[in-house]
Structure 1
């Protein structure tokens, strides 16, 4: 699967890996700043979704403009493209709402920290 579709496939694989890596806490995934960093990256990713979703229409629009779209079962290409466009419009709207929500998550996580008092791994002299 070459080209842009491959890029999205790789992005999906990386999100799947993140989901696997964060099933449990430990090491580099146990404190609020870890969540803050991850949410920031997630906000960046989600913020790009509306454009990515919209741009999936480019090959369809181009082919449709050239009157070259066909539809399985002999359905009307104009109607099929209009249905796809409506779904894309809905997806872009929902992606924008998701992006705003994840941005709020990032802001809410920003002030969270860790009380390190009494945690041996944070004691400067190595004493608990």
Structure 2
């Protein structure tokens, strides 16, 4: 079974690739429908972040619950886990807010299209 953190590494690489290839408009990346498709996929992606955040803390939490968590330099495990849980709650709330915002963006682009009036490359046969 692959190590779960590798999946997140691959997802991050794919987001980086999207950021690189979407920097400028061009063939296949020029119309409102392309934004709609991208935002739909992004909405799906960010909609899974809250669960991924919680599940990413499971190994540390399990180790703590079994009394086996050690903190570098003799640090306090209870304090470290309290910080982790508080940050996880804030991250989950931020992920939920991000999901809602991206879904609104996706919805906003659903009615958008290209006005092809006067564009020769979109003229149908018989149009003058």
TM over 0.5: yes
TM-score of the superposition, structure 1-length normalised? 0.93
CA distance in 2, matches of 1:109, 1:43: 13
- Residues 10 and 127 of structure 1: CA distance in aligned 2, closer, same or farther (over 3 Å): farther
Residues 35-68 of structure 1, C-alpha deviations (whole Å, 9 max, x = no match): 0000000000000000000111211111111101
- Kindly indicate whether the alpha-carbon contact (under 8 Å) linking 1:120 and 1:127 is maintained by their aligned counterparts in 2: no
- In the alignment, what sits opposite 1:112? 112
CA distance in 2, matches of 1:11, 1:121: 37
User: Are residue 53 (structure 1) and residue 53 (structure 2) matched?
Assistant: yes
> What SS class does the counterpart of residue 67 from structure 2 fall into?
coil
Larger relative contact order (CA 8 Å, sep ≥ 6): 2
**Number of residues of Structure 1 aligned to a counterpart in Structure 2:** 127
- In the alignment, what sits opposite 1:43? 43
**Where do 1:75-86 residues align within 5 Å?**
75-86=75-86
Which ranges of structure 1 fall in alignment gaps of 5 or more residues? Answer: none
Which ranges of structure 2 fall in alignment gaps of 5 or more residues? Answer: none
TM-score of the superposition, structure 2-length normalised? 0.93
